[in-house]
């Protein structure tokens, strides 16, 4: 085989591998990704991953159960949440959280251990103003 042909083949193989990798990336990432919904968007009968802020003065603990309200990041619509399981260290009122679960009779029933606190504390502590 002459060298230029060899080069073409090599290039084609490389490009094919690259295209394959790219397709795999696009396909798997879009199918695996989870969209976070706002509290105002959730409806009964479907499971959601909800992201929002913990409403001030709403956190209440009853034995194993943690109850709080979660509201839209930039709005006031909120939904009550009932949760059990591990509460992450930085969980606080006013912080952004993600929780998975489903709306039942007006209350968002969260799956066990699904609570994640989002960007809780930046390296620099928040100014308390």
Partner 1 sequence: MAGVGSACLTIALLTALYAAGASVYGAVARRREWVISGRRAIYCMAGLCLVAFALLEAAFLRTDLSLKLVAEGSSTDTPTFYKVTALWATQDGSLLLWATLMSLFASAALFLTRRSLREIAPWAAAVLGCVAAFFLFLMVGWENPFDTLAVAPAEGAGLNPLLRHPAMMIHPPMLYTGYVGFSIPFAFAVGALIERRTGADWIRATRRFALIAWTFLGTGILLGALWSYTELGWGGYWAWDPVENASLMPWLVGTAFIHSIMVQEKRGMLRVWNVSLVCATFALALLGTFLVRSGILDSIHAFGASTIGVQFLVFICSVVALSAALVLWRLPDLRSEARLDSFASREAFFILNNLVLVGLCLVILWGTFFPLISEALTGEEASVGPPWFDRLTTPIALVLVLLTGVGPVLAWRRVTLAALGRVLVVPLAVALVALLGLLAFTDAADSVPALLMFCFVAFVLAVVAQEFWRGASARRVMTGEAWPRALARLTGRNRRRYGGYLVHAGIAVLFLGVAASSAFLEQRDVRLAPGESFSLDGYEITYRKATARLGGDSAGTGAPISFGAVMSVRRGDQRFTLRPSRNFYSSGDPSLGAISRFFEGEATSEVDVRWGLRKDLWLAVRPDVSALEKPIAEADAKFADSPGDVQALIIAALAERYRRDPPPAAFRAIASPLVAWIWIGGAIALLGALVAVWPSPEARLRRVRALYSARLGKELSRA
Interface residue list for partner 1 (CB under 8 A): 3, 14, 17, 21, 24-25, 28-30, 32-36, 61, 64, 85-90, 92, 113, 118-128
Specify burial of residue 94 (Cβ count, 10 A radius: 0-12, 13-18, 19+): exposed
Q: Minimum Å distance from CB 48 to partner 1?
A: 13
Nearest CB to partner 1, comparing residues 3 and 45:
3
Q: Minimum Å distance from CB 105 to partner 1?
A: 26
Query: What are the tokens at 54?
Result: 């913990």
Residue 13 has a CB neighbour count (10 Å cut-off) of 10
């Amino acid at each position: 085989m002459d060298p230029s042909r060899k080069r073409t083949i090599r290039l084609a193989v490389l490009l094919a591998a690259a295209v394959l990798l790219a397709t795999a990336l696009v396909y798997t990432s879009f199918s695996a990704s989870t969209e976070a919904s706002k509290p105002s968007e959730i409806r009964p009968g479907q499971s959601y991953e909800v992201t929002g802020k913990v409403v001030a003065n709403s956190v209440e603990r009853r034995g194993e159960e943690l109850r709080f309200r979660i509201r839209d990041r930039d709005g006031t619509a909120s939904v009550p949440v009932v949760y059990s399981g591990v509460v992450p260290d930085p969980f606080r009122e006013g912080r952004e959280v993600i929780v998975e679960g489903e709306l039942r009779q007006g209350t968002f029933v969260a799956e066990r251990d699904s609570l994640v606190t989002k960007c809780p504390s930046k390296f620099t502590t928040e100014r308390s103003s």
